[in-house]
Amino acid sequence: MNLLKTRLSKVSNTIAILTFLFVSSVLGQVTGTTSSDVNRPQEVDQAERAVNEITAKSGILFKQGLLNMQDNRRSQAGEDFNKSVEVFLMSGVNVSRNGKLQGCYNQLIETVYRIEFPSNAQQPNIRSLSATCGWTIDNDLADKVAKIVLTVPSEINSNTNAVIAAGSNGTQINQTQGFNEQKFEASPLDELAKLELTPEEQQIENNPVAQQQYQYIQYAVSNKSLGFNFQVHPMIQQFVNYYQGRGKGTMETGLYRSGMFMRMARRIFREEGIPENVAWLAQVESAWKPQAMSWASASGLWQFIPGTGIRYGLRRTPHLDERNSFEKATRASAQYLKFLANRYGGNWELAMGAYNCGEGNVDKAIRRAGVANFWAAYQYLPQETRNYVPNILATILIANNPNQYGFGHVRPAPQLMYDQIRVPASTSLSLLAQASDTTVEYLRYLNPELRTNMSPPEPYIVRVPSGKANEVVAVFRKYPKANLNTASIAQTSVGESWQNIANRTGVSVEELMAANDGKIVPTGKIIVPTKGNNVQNTNYSRPTNPIPIMPTNGKVRVVKAKSGDTVTKVAEREGISALELAKYNGLLPTSILPAGREIKIPSR
């Protein structure tokens, strides 16, 4: 991980490092600074009652979720768990300032995540959650649900074992895990495993064009023009034939999307000492889609399974799945390929094969073949791996000479440009979106490793639109004392006064000036403090899912906020639940909206 952090300093994009002063205040019991000693016990009692009511209501919903899990009603269980968390979010109490509430809330988030995404390595500790929150949940029920979520379906058998052999620490991912049917961008590898070349695609000798192209492969290998050696085999040309025919659309899409990431991939592979052309492996793995996922829960551009990702420093927590990171996963992939190439004496066909099915399967195939040669071991390898290696080699050949293969018309997409900044722990993406003049949805697109609309509970480097880093840094640096996650950002107009802003935001002049370091005249972007909760909403859908929470017919209206609007006020005008509207727009129900802010209203 230290190596990854060191390498990040070489990224060509702007990296602005923010230093923040953290002032933590722990509110064990609520006391009033203006109250007398006589009144203080009554205030403490009221505060304790409020805390107990919140935890008790949340516990009832969580237990109902467990009962639904026990009866295999996963969708209903997911709704119950969501509502259990929403009790905290909608309470109006600053959860982060009360030790009991914060402990219960944080452990609830962790436990629900472990129920939805189970692993043998990190099991849901329902008993501990119950004790922390003061709930009376039967131990038998807790243990039964913990056992249910770790059950692996029987249809994931030999293929799963092959995946685990590729470096997993024993973690098994249930294909049907989660509270609802899994939805994601399918990895092209799922189809590759079943692909059978037609007789026409296999034909080379009686196809003059294929013969000429096959001779080119021999020439390219002999003069080492691709940067690494491999053995010429007819099956490579057969996959070229496939891509020139029924696979043409797949190749066109991959060549186009490669423009977004290939420059970054080549740079990192070069830094790690890997032939740059090997980076085309990502086109076969994911078609350059950062949120691609296979049937075996391999994820990201480079399709790491959880175990192998952990081996190479890619964390997977309730807040992050770094297998979906652009830079970190690319470097991990290069390091893994380097390890495999060294293992097989520089034989890149074997290294690529092991990347697909694991070192154990390749070692076994080599022993059975009696020689460390991919084509000799070919018949002993899994079907997917037999297709995988010649597919990558064919892709490399086409990508390096698209005109010769009929793909000269494809123009790669522009490189995905962004700046990177270091933000404090648990920073709201809604706040970052306002500071960088973009949307939460686009920030999620730039940061596919984030599981929620909040950065992880640690200082973390996030991506913002290109050219916006300095602007975001300036906003944060000007207001180090403000509790930014309980605030929003507003753009001021030339000549506008604090009173004007107070009128349109509903926040007093005194509060506005205090949050903005006592500035006499408002200029540029300013902080608008909001009242209520300091906990941002958490969406339990997979990060590959689009959010809308509300059922829609696919149509979305856009309305503009009026002066003094909040999400709740807009929701009331539109006859929509404030909570659901907030989720749909990546905001809080209490968020204050600047005049003119566009709010999406899904049609029912």
Q: How far apart are CA 219 and CA 221, in angstroms?
A: 5
Q: Report the alpha-carbon angle 453-458-463, nearest 5.
A: 55
Cβ contacts of 388 within 8 Å, gap of 6 or more: 189, 192, 284, 352, 353, 356, 357
Q: How far apart are CA 75 and CA 82, in angstroms?
A: 11
DSSP letter assigned to residue 320: B
Q: What residues are paired with 174 via a beta bridge?
A: none
Q: What residues are paired with 490 via a beta bridge?
A: 526
How many Cβ atoms from other residues are within 10 Å of residue 219's Cβ?
A: 11
Residues marked as catalytic: 285
Tell me the backbone φ, ψ of residue 268, rounded to 5 degrees: -70, -40
Q: Report the alpha-carbon angle 575-578-584, nearest 5.
A: 100
SS3 307: helix
Q: Which structure tokens are listed for 101?
A: 């509430």
H or E element that contains 601: strand 598-602
Q: CA separation (Å) from 460 to 23, 240, 483?
A: 18, 43, 18
Q: How far apart are CA 361 and CA 586, in angstroms?
A: 45
* Sign of the C-alpha dihedral computed for residues 116, 121, 127 and 128 taken in this order: negative
CB 475 within 8 A of CB 433: no
Can you list the positions of beta strands (E) in 289-335?
292-293
Tell me the backbone φ, ψ of residue 419, rounded to 5 degrees: -105, 160
Q: How far apart are CA 273 and CA 526, in angstroms?
A: 47
DSSP letter assigned to residue 171: -
CB 544 within 8 A of CB 185: yes
Can you list the positions of beta strands (E) in 215-321?
292-293
Q: How far apart are CA 591 and CA 587, in angstroms?
A: 6
Parallel, antiparallel, or unpaired for β 185-186 and 292-293? Answer: parallel
Q: Which structure tokens are listed for 135?
A: 């709930």
Q: How far apart are CA 76 and CA 179, in angstroms?
A: 8
Can you list the positions of beta strands (E) in 467-592?
487-491, 525-529, 556-560
